[in-house]
């Protein structure tokens, strides 16, 4: 029997870069700048309204109600890129993929990460639950909860500045897993700020896109890191999991097989 708070299995995808103790968050200055962002009035108005009116089940909670920074192992080699905070999930708890209900997207994702050895717990309920990520950092393309889970194109573009800044603090990044088509498109939109990718790869579950080999794979053209490989994965929304468009086995394919193979290769 394994001890509580340990991964379902030990990772076998090779060593992480050696060095000092792991950084479990980005710098305090960048964290504060994301939290203080007021650049998208529609999103800020919506998030503040949700935090004020609350959901009946959480009426005694104090909602976060602000932009949500990334979370996880800042020295990790993997970035999971989601869409945006849930109105009563991360917008309430202040941690991405956290608090959207038992069996919600956070639990579905963490369960898969736990099985693959990337997380010590199979659930994500509140910021003080003891969840720790191993070799993985999670962020969202948009940092404020959007009405109907649909950010405007201009809001995505504006919010990518935060992801751009976070990349400078993920020095070991090798693989990005885009959770859903919007996150996939947002990543390639960010890439286009530095160089053009033509044709742009089409999103699909377990689709893998490798950056060009040779000199093009090294930092340059404004890249603070070696350009990572990109993997597509369906978003763990209840709409996808309840209809079985996304199943645990499909996530095991991405996090238990494809991702470890890529990390061993890079």
CATH number at 215 reads 3.40.470.10
Is the residue at 10 inside a domain?
A: no
- pLDDT tens profile 209-255: 998 764 444 455 556 667 899 999 999 999 999 999 999 999 999 99
* Beta-carbon count within 10 A of 66 CB: 20
Q: How far apart are the first and last CA of the chain?
A: 33
Q: Which domain holds residue 204?
A: 28-265
Is the residue at 192 inside a domain?
A: yes
Torsion of the alpha carbons at 59, 139, 185 and 224, rounded to the nearest 10: 160
Its pTM stands at 0.89
Give residue 211's pLDDT. 85
Is the residue at 19 inside a domain?
A: no
Instruction: Give the up-direction half-sphere exposure of residue 35: CA atoms within 13 A in the CB hemisphere.
Output: 14
Give residue 82's pLDDT. 98
Give residue 265's pLDDT. 83
Question: DSSP label at 244?
Answer: T
Is the residue at 77 inside a domain?
A: yes
C-alpha to C-alpha distance for 117 and 67, rounded to whole angstroms: 29
Give whole-number Cα distances, 54 to 46, 69, 100, 127, 145, in Å.
12, 21, 13, 18, 13
Q: How many domains does the chain have?
A: 1
Write out residues in the chain with pLDDT < 70, as ranges: 1-25, 213-225, 266
Is the residue at 108 inside a domain?
A: yes
Give residue 198's pLDDT. 77
Is the residue at 1 inside a domain?
A: no
Give residue 127's pLDDT. 96
Q: 84: closest CA among 147, 176, 175?
A: 147
Give residue 23's pLDDT. 60
Is the residue at 235 inside a domain?
A: yes
Q: Helix or strand or coil: residue 136?
A: strand
Question: DSSP label at 119?
Answer: B
91's enclosing H/E stretch is helix 90-93
Is the residue at 15 inside a domain?
A: no
């Amino acid at each position: 029997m394994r001890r509580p708070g340990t991964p379902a299995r030990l990772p076998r995808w090779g060593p992480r870069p050696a060095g000092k103790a792991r950084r479990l968050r980005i710098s305090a200055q960048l964290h504060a700048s994301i939290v203080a962002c007021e650049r998208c009035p529609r999103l800020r108005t919506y998030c503040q309204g949700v935090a004020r009116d609350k959901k009946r089940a959480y009426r005694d909670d104090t909602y976060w109600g602000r932009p949500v920074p990334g979370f996880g192992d800042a020295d990790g080699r993997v970035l999971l890129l989601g869409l945006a905070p849930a109105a009563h999930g991360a917008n309430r708890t202040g941690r991405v993929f956290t608090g959207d209900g038992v069996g919600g997207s956070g639990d579905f994702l963490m369960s898969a990460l736990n099985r693959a050895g990337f997380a010590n717990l199979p659930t994500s309920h509140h910021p003080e639950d003891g969840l720790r990520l191993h070799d993985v950092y999670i962020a969202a393309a948009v940092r404020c909860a959007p009405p109907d889970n649909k950010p405007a194109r201009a809001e995505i573009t504006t919010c990518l500045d935060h992801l751009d800044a976070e990349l400078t603090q993920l020095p070991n990044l090798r693989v990005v897993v885009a959770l859903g088509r919007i996150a996939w498109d947002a990543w390639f939109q960010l890439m286009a700020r530095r160089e053009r990718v033509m044709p742009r790869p089409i999103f699909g579950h377990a689709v893998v896109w490798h950056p060009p080999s040779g000199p093009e794979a090294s930092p340059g053209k404004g890249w603070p890191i070696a350009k990572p490989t990109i993997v597509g994965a369906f978003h763990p929304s209840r709409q996808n999991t309840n209809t079985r468009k996304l199943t645990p086995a499909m996530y095991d394919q991405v996090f238990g097989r494809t991702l470890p193979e890529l990390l061993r290769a890079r």
